[in-house]
A = this chain, B = another copy of it.
Amino acid sequence: MKLKLSETYQTEKEMICELCKKFYVLGWVSGTGGGMSIKVEDNLALIAPSGVQKEEIKPSDLFLIDFFLSTEHSASYSIVENPPEHKISACTSIFVNIYKQRASAGAVIHSHSLNAVMLTKVVKDKEVTLKGYEMLKGLEGSTYFGSHTLPILDNVEHECDLADAVGEIVAKYPSAHAVLVRDHGIYVWGKTPQQAKVHAECYDYLFSAYVKELHLKALNLI
């Protein structure tokens, strides 16, 4: 374990806190739902704590974890900085497996957005294909005339039990920047925190549009 510097990565810590405030306004982390992680070194990541109001977190509330770069799915990690009053998030091993399977991921946002969740209610399949919107171009590698497919995992009782499934599915969908979890929400990543936020906004817009479009079709308006 190389680091034990509670003021290290202060910029990234502040960024997580600031972004969580914005996500709260967008309705993505209400209750104590959702969360965020930034990878600060190849094997080190900051993680928002579990079970707290995400819009209220301070830099000193964040966990710093060390994980081993490997292609195996088991989400092993050790805690480098542990804010004494907090519990590590149940989605930590999910974040870890995303970083392990997607080397380019530099940040992950977990949102409970109702747009994402309602989409998983109307799409019974194990994946959803998004197409027909300019906003697709906000997703790296996607085009307007192309389409973009995201996997949908079924939810489980204990979030940590999703970690292996997330790791496997991330490997199977190399063009996806997110995994949907039915009845639950979404994990979205990007090369940087900025790109993770852009991807999260584009997906949320596309999910909202997807359900609206189905709705208008059901009324023969499209």
Contacts and interface: CB of A to CB of B under 8 A. Distances in A.
Nearest to A139: B31
A65 to B, nearest CB: 22
A212 to B, nearest CB: 6
A156 B205 CA distance: 20
A24 to B, nearest CB: 9
A153 to B, nearest CB: 12
B214 A221 contact: yes
Given A121-B216, A157-B144, A216-B122, A53 B197 contact: yes
A216 B219 contact: no
Given A183-B132, A194-B53, A138 B213 contact: no
Nearest to A118: B212
Contacts of A209: 114, 117-118
**Oligomeric state, in copies:** 4
B30 A202 contact: yes
Given A157-B145, A183-B133, A209-B117, A32 B138 contact: yes
Interface string A52-81: 010000000000000000000000000000
A31 B202 contact: yes
Interface string A180-222: 0101110000000010011001101100110111111011111
A106 interface: no
Interface of A: 27, 30-33, 53, 112, 114, 117-118, 121-122, 132-135, 138, 143-145, 155-157, 181, 183-185, 194, 197-198, 201-202, 204-205, 208-209, 211-216, 218-222
11 contacts: A27-B205, A30-B204, A31-B198, A32-B138, A33-B138, A114-B209, A122-B222, A134-B155, A134-B183, A143-B157, A145-B157
